[in-house]
Amino acid sequence: MIKKDINYFDLEQIAESGQCFRWKKLDEHKYRIPAFGNYLDIAQTGSHFELSCTEKEFEQIWYDYFDIGTDYEGIIKRIDVKDEFLKNAADYGKGIRILNQDIWETIISFIISQNNNIPRIKKGIENMCQRYMRQTDALLGTDIYMIPYLEDIEKNGGRESLSELGIGYRDKYIWGICQFKNQSPDFIDELKKLNYEDAMKYLMDFKGIGKKVANCICLFGLHHLDACPIDVWMKKVIDEEYDGEMPAWMTDKYAGVYQQYTFFYKREKK
């Protein structure tokens, strides 16, 4: 167990910001988080955090995962003083950070997310993890499983078993990208090398990955902070807060951070 003091960091805001689907709420302001073949129990009291890991594990996994090294205070200070809506959204959601998530998990999660609601997304992802039971040494003896690969699916029911997970038509897209990943083992490493524009083009070549899903993968998996996913809530922001005109911040180098503030604020204040 270690303790940290971190500003501009709120577990509940991140959990409700639409970027992660596998955080399990254990208690008020306390979560269990599976990531990168490991897991963390983390509790918050104001800017004080207790984490169930060693200092070495924090430096190796969680410092980067929680994006501790990014200056979110500075990002907020860049906001145009004339943009009252974005200023209010950033003040309201200033505890949100863009997680550095496992890219494979992000791809599968956001394929499942398309035309879906958050409770069903979470259930579909968890059904998949429980069905195919992929664990690492760090997870042995727990009930925590990670996003499967093709070999995990094939040895636990195969292609047809995907239709039993409650993810609907998205099963064929999951199967397709699992096959591609199996045939192209350097797929993720190559994706990491691409800039935002090239990563978008590459991702959108896959069936089941449109512009919105590709933007989510770029932002939440590849950490391209200029990626700005546009969903129904963001369309409401454009229409209702900016008179139908896309605001300048949506093409800013921190567009993805501002998108998270406004997405969270608009949904919470609906």
**Annotated catalytic sites, by residue?**
212
C-alpha span between 142 and 218 (Å, rounded): 31
Q: Are 96 and 254 in contact (CB under 8 A)?
A: no
Q: Which residues contact 168 (CB under 8 A, 6 or more apart)?
A: none
Q: Are 178 and 210 in contact (CB under 8 A)?
A: no
C-alpha span between 107 and 21 (Å, rounded): 12
Q: Which residues contact 12 (CB under 8 A, 6 or more apart)?
A: 29, 44, 95
Of residues 145, 90, 47, 30, the one with CA closest to residue 263: 90
Distance from the first to the final alpha carbon of the chain: 38
Tell me the sheet residues that pair with 130: none
C-alpha span between 62 and 267 (Å, rounded): 28
Helices and strands (H and E) in the chain: how many:
14, 5
Range list of H helices, 155-229: 171-183, 187-193, 196-203, 211-220
C-alpha span between 257 and 93 (Å, rounded): 10
